[in-house]
Structure 1
Amino acid sequence: MVVQMPKHIASGLKYLAAVKLKEAGESHQAIADELGIDRSTVSHYLNGRNLSWNSIDVARTITELTPRDFLIMTNAVFDEPEQSRKIVNICREKNYEAIIEDSCIGCGLCVN
């Protein structure tokens, strides 16, 4: 069961992303294309069919983590970094701005 949990969490994150995209006015096909899933899966998500509400609760908790932890957890669930970035960009609730002090040496650690 532990092996399957990331797939369920991934589905929960995709569900949350589909809802956000639908609220933004996207069509089912556009949502499917963005998330890399079938249009019928989008329809199931948005109509509340074939969903694990526990997985959605876990996914919602992941989206409420700090931005760094949200990205780390999403990377752990999805094998593809691009898919992780898409989910994070769609599901994030807040935008953060990095302020770089004059003492920055440009190592990049603070922007990870």
Structure 2
Amino acid sequence: MSCETMPEHILSGIKAIVAMKLRRKGMIQREIAKIIKSDRSIVSHYLSGRYPKRKILNVAKTIEDLPPNYGSKLIHSLTDDKNLAKNLIKELYGVKLIWNEKSCIACGSCLVCVALTLDNFKLKIDENSCYLCGSCTLQCPTNSLKFVKEE
């Protein structure tokens, strides 16, 4: 296995874990394929355990065990498709981005992200533009932006 294909293999492992989670939620292969942006035959391989290899799944499970703000950065580094990364992060970690107004000092460090705007010292999060990349959580000096589990 060459170093050039390793990111695709790791991404495949993450897709396999997400596919299994979605199946446990009762989704059918067609729905899963749309979310993880894969062919239905690949989803079938994921669900049957035929693909990917155990070592790749172990790496993917290690990523799943990371704190979401770090795991999200890693997932985004594996693909240029921001929507795919967002889908995988959302399903893998079950998180959304929240802002704590009380601890925020309105420094603007988080504004590296296009999904965030500061208006009259109030941070606004555009959930449609947020790709759950975690950049803002890592930039915030007061930890006022965090990923939290969705209800």
Match of 1:49 in 2: 50
Return 5+ residue gaps in structure 2 as ranges: 111-135, 147-151
CA pair 103-4 structure 1, distance change in 2 beyond 3 A: closer
How many residues are matched? 112
Higher strand residue share: 2
4+ runs of 1 displaced by more than 6 Å?
none
Stretch deviating more after TM superposition (18-27 or 89-98): 89-98
Higher relative contact order (CA 8 A, sep 6+): 1
Shift of 1:66: 1.4
Higher helix residue share: 1
Q: Per the alignment, in what secondary structure is the counterpart of residue 100 of structure 1?
A: coil
8 Å CA contact retained: 1:8, 1:52? no
8 Å CA contact retained: 1:13, 1:59? yes
Amino acid at match of 1:104: I
8 Å CA contact retained: 2:14, 2:61? yes
Return 5+ residue gaps in structure 1 as ranges: none
Amino acid at match of 1:38: D
Q: Give the structure-1-normalised TM-score.
A: 0.87
CA root-mean-square deviation: 2.1
Match of 1:74 in 2: 75
Q: Measure the CA separation in 2 of the matches of 1:103 and 1:54.
A: 42
Q: Give the structure-2-normalised TM-score.
A: 0.66
Please identify the structure whose Cα radius of gyration is greater.
Answer: 2
